[in-house]
């Protein structure tokens, strides 16, 4: 079951990120797909804040991976430039993912074989202007129900605004 939410702008996307963070524990992986500029890093930044990261959270496109200290350590990977499963950079990036941190992986297709099963899958599509369509899938029925409840809460917030 896919939960879907239409974000009207970055604030909504941040709320989704914070809501996802509330479902995560060390060892969990979140994979994010979406075009350039879709809002993947905005979502990760909000999730990292909710997990206790205080400093800047930036896109790791050229660095491949960033690690952040927080209440829960956070790894943020961008596998956009990685394509070869034997790529040395790929191996180094995957070293950031482990049982003691929560990992967010943008453009995950090149690295899925080296990751634990993702707890949450996020697909973000441009919806015109600042609008984004977020589709959230959980690894298990409990996570899927929590993601649907998150989207329901955010939709209710819009109706009551």
- pLDDT reported for residue 61: 73
- pLDDT reported for residue 159: 84
CATH number of 2-160: 3.40.50.300
- pLDDT reported for residue 86: 56
| Burial status of residue 55 (CB atoms within 10 A of its CB: 0-12, 13-18, 19 or more) | exposed
Q: Which residues of 137-156 are buried (b: 16+ CB within 10 A; e: fewer)?
A: bbeeeebbebbbebbeebee
- pLDDT reported for residue 134: 97
Domain boundaries, the chain: 2-160
- pLDDT reported for residue 114: 74
What are the residue ranges in the chain where pLDDT is below 50?
none
How confident is the model over 114-142, as pLDDT tens digits? Answer: 788 899 999 999 999 999 999 999 999 99
């Amino acid at each position: 079951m896919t939960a879907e939410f239409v974000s009207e702008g970055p604030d909504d996307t941040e709320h989704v990120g914070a809501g996802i963070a509330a479902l995560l524990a060390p060892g969990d992986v979140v994979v994010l797909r979406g075009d350039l500029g879709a809002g993947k890093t905005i979502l990760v930044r909000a999730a990292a804040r909710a997990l206790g990261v205080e400093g800047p959270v930036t896109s790791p496109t050229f660095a491949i991976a960033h690690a952040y200290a927080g209440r829960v350590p956070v790894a943020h990977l961008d596998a956009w430039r990685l394509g070869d499963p034997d790529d040395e950079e790929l191996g180094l990036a995957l070293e950031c993912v482990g049982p003691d941190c929560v990992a967010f992986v943008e453009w995950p297709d090149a690295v899925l074989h080296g990751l634990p099963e993702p707890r949450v899958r996020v697909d973000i599509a441009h919806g015109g202007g600042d609008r984004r369509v977020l589709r959230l899938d959980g690894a298990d029925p409990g996570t899927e129900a929590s993601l649907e409840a998150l989207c329901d809460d955010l939709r209710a917030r819009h109706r009551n605004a």
